[in-house]
Structure 1
Amino acid sequence: MSDEIAAVGWDAIDQALAQVYGEQEPKHYGTLIPYSLGGQDPLDGISVYKSETSIPHWHFVTYGFSELYEKEFENKDYSGYGFELTFRLVRQHDEEEPPAWALNLLQNMGRYVFNSGNVFRAGDYLDANGPICLDADTQLTALAFTHDPELAEIDTPNGKMEFIQMVGISEDELEAMQTWNTLGVLQAGMKQIPSYTTDLTRTSLLQNPEVAEAVVRGMEEDGSNTGFLFVDQLAWEVEKKSWFNKPSNVVQLGAKQAAVISKLLRGRILKDKDLTLVGQQITIIFKAGPQVGYSENGQEITITLNKAAVEELSQRLIPQESQFTISSLVGVSFQILKTHIKNQEGAVVKTIG
């Protein structure tokens, strides 16, 4: 292999894995047609190791989020996006091949990053809006991201990169991470998910009273780490009243995220931290302040709430279709709209509200 196409980044990842797995030859799943040439899979490859750490499981490691060959990104400090993804999945005793759905899931993560430019860091989460394995009867419908417990950050000739592990989580675990913080919830449930291994058959960590108490305590003491929340259904509409009345502004929210936003308002505003809701067309910033009110600046709306207004609003934000006002906020009402959850084919599989 010539110097021009030396896989220096790839070799650095292999060296890090050799320190964990020694001579074990992984199962490797390469990509036939590169993404840059019109191929379907953005990642160059995925290696899968048999691990016995904590419990028997498959350990998936991606190749492609970092720069595997020559340096192309402008940022000299980091290789590519600065990470590769890993994923640990419970392995059955008679299982000789890793499940194809997990490989597809990792490639889907590649499509998300390559198309959006959004990167994953420890502490992030992502709602899958359905089972992470489509055909499985599982409660795991979202993903959390943390540091891989066995693979530390490495320096490569193309810059630094870290191994970010993806963990399957349930809907109520996602809500707990939003209203407290991701790493705190994962740490609290470590006994049930050793090495942050994903088990499609497990029940929610919050069924364990110790974990549930840790989440409540953490939210009360720390507030929420979620300063930004991306909201699919978010709008600021001007509702025309009768001829004699001034127009009223309406904040529209989807029922699916109403309860989470309710908890976030308490976990952020009551701790004097802002909460920013980011929609496709509008951004709404909630701030703490003694004077309740709102201001408009183009596509950015700022709503200031005091403690009493937070309490009143958070009680009204429930996953049920409705429209209401809060007593101290003049000129603004809130509307909860139905949320329709769709599958990959676009068919509605669940309606909330």
Structure 2
Amino acid sequence: MDFASQQVGPTIEPPKGGFEQLQKHCSSLYPTDHEPYRCIKPAKSFWSEGGIDPLDFIYIYKNPGNSDNVPRHWHYIGFGLSDIKGYTKFRQWHESVREVNPIYEKMTQPLPELYPTPPADVKMNGFGFELTARIKCNSDKEWNSEPPVWPQCILQNLARYVFQSRNTFGVGDHVAWHSPLDSESEDGDSSRIEHILMTLDPELKEIDTTLGPVKFIQIVGVCKEELQAARELNVRNILEKMKTRPETGGPMLITDMRRCETIFELKPEMYEEHLEAIERWGSDMAQISNKHKTSYRKPDWFSRVESGWVDEPNDMNDQDQCYAMDVISEVVNQEDDYPVRTPSRMSLGSESALKIENADLYDVRYHEQIYILLSYESARILPVMLKGRLMHKRSFSFQSFKGDSQVTFLPEGSSQKALVSAEHPFAKQSHWLQIYVSNELCEQIYEKIKLDFDTRAGDQHRPKLPK
């Protein structure tokens, strides 16, 4: 929709650049194709018609590849996370007219704030990024057939999370998907590619539009072992390793859903290098978005754990296995419902710490105990949190999917400014909970968790911890 055509009253100059600039930038990669091979558009608009797909368009190009280990592949480019239609400027005009024109105010309704409002001196184009994907074509039949549908679904799901949570994706982030990305595969084979790492699209990179800069963030499908390695160290290191082999994506990091081997199986010496880097540097993963609950009184679910009966709490997803962590601290009154449920065990990790706005406007409350309930996916992160972050004097945070609460563990000796200390180890300010972890407590928790996971080693879905 052209917002300018909907205006009543004083006119404004419609925003220039935006979608047209992004289109021109993308088409410059494919000069022989005047139009994308396919342009996917939702049946209903997300913002005006109640549709469920936030991306206004998904362009699909056929990339023929080249002789430099770049195979032919489908190139998916989403549009809608940046403000391609000038919605923000139209909304500002709309609200300003409603303030001064009573007739217009009665005729219209306030418009929702789809995109973040940047500071007055900052140019920001929507969320400031778009998502892309590169999917390998493994045969002439695939190349001459319709492009697969599943990448569109994943891009829309990730975009939906961004609009619902107001959290953004960037280089170095990851998504634990816990299901083959091509769940709609017709051949019946189950792919090992079940998770996502994020990097800058190697060709589109970043463009500075009239409305502000836009980065193109490429999703890269990986195996669970590669995801775990990225969590243990960082996403950049694992992707650089994957670039060295055509089987794992090559220089363009093209996702091959038929890939049967991880980078560490193809080059075992890389795993030894990986372990040495973990020991030296620790993990860059600063926080993860997933399900968790906290309480300052002993909750029913913890009483069941104490009695030896561990079941699925009603407020956790039916596919999430739960791990109860007995740590003493405070309460965060979290909502029981979570907006992102597709797939049901999805979690998101970032190498950038979450900033809670206006937390310093609230008083600090100190408490004596806390009970923390983590989903199984969150519990899988505990070894990385302890060994890769806290033991290296670096903090770690669990963030709610809504982005409205955060639990931060701060280690003894951390240089980060904190509300907690050895004398006051548990503090809450607004919806930000901080927990102080001494060196001794960190070692105790790690050994307890290591023992617990080792006793469950027969369960193939549970991780084995490093010695």
TM-score of Structure 1 vs Structure 2, range by shorter chain? 0.7 to 0.9
Question: 282, 296, 299: which is aligned to 1:223?
Answer: 282
| Alpha-carbon distance in 2 for matches of 1:234, 1:305 | 22
What SS is found at the alignment partner of 1:78? coil
Aligned to 2:45: 34
2:170 is equivalent to residue 124 of structure 1: no
Q: Which moved more, 1:91-100 or 1:54-63?
A: 91-100
Aligned residue type for 1:218: A
- Give the 5 Å matches for 1:112-261: 112-136=161-185, 137-190=190-243, 191=245, 192-194=248-250, 195-202=252-259, 203-207=261-265, 208-236=267-295, 238-239=297-298, 249-261=370-382
Structure 1 gap ranges (5+): 323-335, 340-349
Deviation for aligned residue 1:321: 8.0
- Give the 5 Å matches for 1:82-101: 82-92=128-138, 93-95=140-142, 96-101=145-150
| Alpha-carbon distance in 2 for matches of 1:254, 1:315 | 20
Greater strand content: 1
Distance 1:34 1:126, change over 3 A: same
Deviation for aligned residue 1:119: 0.8
* Matched-pair contact (CA < 8 Å) for 1:289–1:304: no
Aligned to 1:14: 23
Aligned residue type for 1:235: T
2:443 is equivalent to residue 311 of structure 1: yes
Seq. identity, % = 25
Aligned residue type for 2:46: Y
* Matched-pair contact (CA < 8 Å) for 1:79–1:159: yes
What SS is found at the alignment partner of 1:310? helix
What SS is found at the alignment partner of 2:181? coil
| Alpha-carbon distance in 1 for matches of 2:199, 2:162 | 17
Distance 1:78 1:168, change over 3 A: same
* Matched-pair contact (CA < 8 Å) for 1:234–1:279: no
Aligned to 2:7: none
Deviation for aligned residue 1:274: 1.3
Distance 1:258 1:42, change over 3 A: closer
* Matched-pair contact (CA < 8 Å) for 1:125–1:144: yes
| Alpha-carbon distance in 2 for matches of 1:197, 1:236 | 44
Distance 1:94 1:273, change over 3 A: same
| Alpha-carbon distance in 1 for matches of 2:25, 2:436 | 48
| Alpha-carbon distance in 2 for matches of 1:51, 1:321 | 45
Aligned to 2:364: none
Question: 29, 32, 35: which is aligned to 1:23?
Answer: 32
TM-score scaled by structure 1? 0.80
Q: Which moved more, 1:160-169 or 1:96-105?
A: 96-105
Aligned to 2:126: 80
Distance 1:155 1:71, change over 3 A: farther
What SS is found at the alignment partner of 1:80? coil
Q: Which moved more, 1:310-319 or 1:202-211?
A: 310-319
Structure 2 gap ranges (5+): 5-13, 89-114, 307-327, 329-367, 415-420
Aligned to 2:351: none
The root-mean-square deviation of aligned C-alpha atoms, in Å, is 3.4
Aligned to 1:330: none
Aligned residue type for 1:110: A
* Matched-pair contact (CA < 8 Å) for 1:148–1:164: yes
Distance 1:293 1:205, change over 3 A: farther
What SS is found at the alignment partner of 1:201? coil
Aligned to 1:295: 425
Distance 1:260 1:7, change over 3 A: same
Cα offsets for 1:106-150 (capped at 9, x unmatched): 111121111111111000011113222224411222211100011
Deviation for aligned residue 1:264: 2.5
* Matched-pair contact (CA < 8 Å) for 1:8–1:69: no
TM-score scaled by structure 2? 0.62
What SS is found at the alignment partner of 1:286? strand
Aligned residue-pair number: 324
What SS is found at the alignment partner of 2:126? strand
The structure that has the greater radius of gyration is 2
